[in-house]
């Protein structure tokens, strides 16, 4: 009985269970509307591009000319700054010590110049006059001694050696008198103009060295190159700041009173884009709100594409033409935000 009726019943039950299981496991097809509709525009022909919002001044990566330790940061992200306002400062102890040394050298050079310009001192003239009178007296005494020995009629009474010694004494006295008179004349003439010129050149050189050190000191305080807003601040007090271009700028600054959109147009569509074409854009993920854009300029140089979409037809060596458009004021977007741009094509 089991063989005749049981096995077929079990087979029928298994078939029924399998049929029901397969029916339940079949995928259910249903139409799901996207969370946000794709970007669209009422143009007969259009060119799509990916744009990024940036400041009208372009985003300025602020750096510093010299590496060093950050000692103070005066701004934070979102602050409004004016041109020349301090952003951050580096350690300046070594430069300040150098400045003090250069300023002392400048003061020494000025003192030397003033000393030369004030020469001679009034107190130096009387001693020089006294030395002239002393030399005159010594010459007069030597001449008298020579006259006495020359007045002897009998030359045998004197020695020729004494006569020559007194003659040489007169010559020495005359030379000393000339030296004293020359020294007096030099004092009365004052400092030589060439010496003053050299001293002035030394003062100018010392002043130039002071200005150079002050310039180095000013370079340690980084200031805002333009008036704008701090878009990003990655510098911290106590951190070491390297000089030169950085992968992550210390401070990102831009003028955000007017925002621009930098649209990347594929080089194959570049010929279809014109300056007076109508343009609409929407923020990425919010296609319902559309904003009109105003043409600013073309970037003449075609650059390699950096924003890749992983499309199978998209090559890594794709190049794009960058077109700059202006956003209307008050549009709720932020610098760095991506936008879908649709341009009316020829």
Give the pLDDT confidence score for residue 53 in this predicted structure. 92
The reported pLDDT for the residue numbered 311 is: 59
Q: What is the structure's pLDDT at 157?
A: 66
Q: Is the pLDDT of residue 167 over 90?
A: no
Three-state secondary structure string covering 139-167 = HHHHHHHHHHHHCCCCHHHCCHHHHHHHH
Q: What is the mean pLDDT of residues 43-53?
A: 85
> How confident is the model at residue 124, as a pLDDT?
78
CB 320, CB 302: distance < 8 Å: yes
Output the pLDDT for position 48.
Answer: 86
Work out the percent of the chain whose per-residue pLDDT is above 70: 91
What is the pLDDT at residue 312?
Answer: 58
Greatest mean pLDDT among 38-42, 197-201, 241-245, 314-318: 197-201
pLDDT digits (tens, 9 = 90+) for 278-307: 889 988 888 788 888 999 999 989 888 876
- The residue ranking higher by pLDDT, 308 or 152, is 152
Question: Using one digit for the tens of pLDDT, what is the confidence trace for 175-186?
Answer: 999 988 888 887
Q: Which residue has the higher pLDDT, 206 or 115?
A: 206
pLDDT tier, 230 (very low <50, low <70, confident <90, very high otherwise) = very high
Buried b (16+ CB within 10 A) or exposed e, 282-302: bbbeeeeebbebebeebeeee
How high is the pLDDT of residue 316?
A: 64
Judge whether residue 277 has pLDDT over 70: yes
The pLDDT value recorded for residue 275 is 87
Interval 93-123: pLDDT, tens: 999 999 999 999 999 999 998 888 877 777 8
The mean per-residue pLDDT over the stretch 36-63 comes to 83
> CB neighbours (10 Å) of residue 206?
19
The mean pLDDT value for 295-322 works out to: 77
Model pLDDT for residues 125-151, shown as the tens digit of each residue: 888 888 888 888 988 888 888 787 777
Pull the structure tokens for residue 6. Answer: 């049981």
Average pLDDT value for residue range 195-208 = 92
- Give every strand in the sheet of 251-254, ordered side by side: 60-62, 251-254, 228-233, 80-81
pTM, to two decimals: 0.66
Residue 83, pLDDT above cutoff 90: yes
């Amino acid at each position: 009985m089991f063989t005749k009726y049981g096995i077929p019943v079990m087979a029928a039950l298994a078939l029924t269970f399998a049929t029901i299981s397969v029916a339940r496991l079949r995928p259910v097809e249903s139409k799901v509307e996207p969370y946000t509709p794709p970007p669209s525009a009422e143009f007969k022909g259009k060119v799509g591009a990916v744009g990024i919002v940036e400041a009208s001044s372009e985003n300025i990566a602020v750096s510093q000319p010299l590496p060093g330790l950050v000692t103070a940061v005066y701004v934070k992200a979102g602050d409004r700054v004016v041109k020349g306002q301090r952003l951050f400062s580096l350690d300046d102890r070594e430069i300040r010590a150098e400045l003090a040394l250069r300023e002392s050298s400048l003061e020494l050079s000025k003192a030397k110049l003033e000393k030369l310009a004030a020469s001679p001192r009034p107190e130096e003239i009387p001693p020089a006059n006294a030395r002239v009178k002393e030399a005159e007296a010594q010459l007069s005494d030597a001449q008298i001694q020579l006259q006495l020995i020359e007045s002897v009629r009998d030359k045998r009474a004197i020695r020729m050696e004494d006569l020559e010694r007194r003659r040489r004494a007169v010559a020495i006295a005359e030379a000393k008198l000339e030296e004293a008179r020359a020294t007096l004349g030099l004092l009365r003439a004052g400092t030589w103009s060439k010496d003053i010129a050299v001293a002035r050149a030394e003062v100018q050189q010392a002043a130039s060295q002071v200005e150079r050190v002050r310039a180095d000191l000013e370079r340690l305080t980084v200031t805002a190159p333009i008036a704008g807003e701090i878009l990003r601040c990655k510098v911290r007090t106590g951190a070491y700041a390297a000089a030169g271009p950085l992968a992550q700028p210390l401070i990102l600054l831009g003028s955000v009173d007017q925002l621009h959109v930098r649209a990347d147009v594929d080089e194959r569509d570049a010929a279809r884009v014109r300056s007076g074409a109508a343009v609409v854009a929407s923020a990425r993920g919010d296609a319902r709100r559309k904003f009109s854009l105003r043409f600013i300029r073309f970037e003449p140089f075609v650059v390699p594409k950096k924003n890749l979409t992983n499309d199978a037809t998209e090559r890594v060596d794709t190049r794009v033409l960058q077109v700059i458009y202006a956003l209307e004021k008050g549009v709720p977007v932020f610098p760095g935000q991506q936008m879908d741009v649709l341009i009316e094509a020829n």
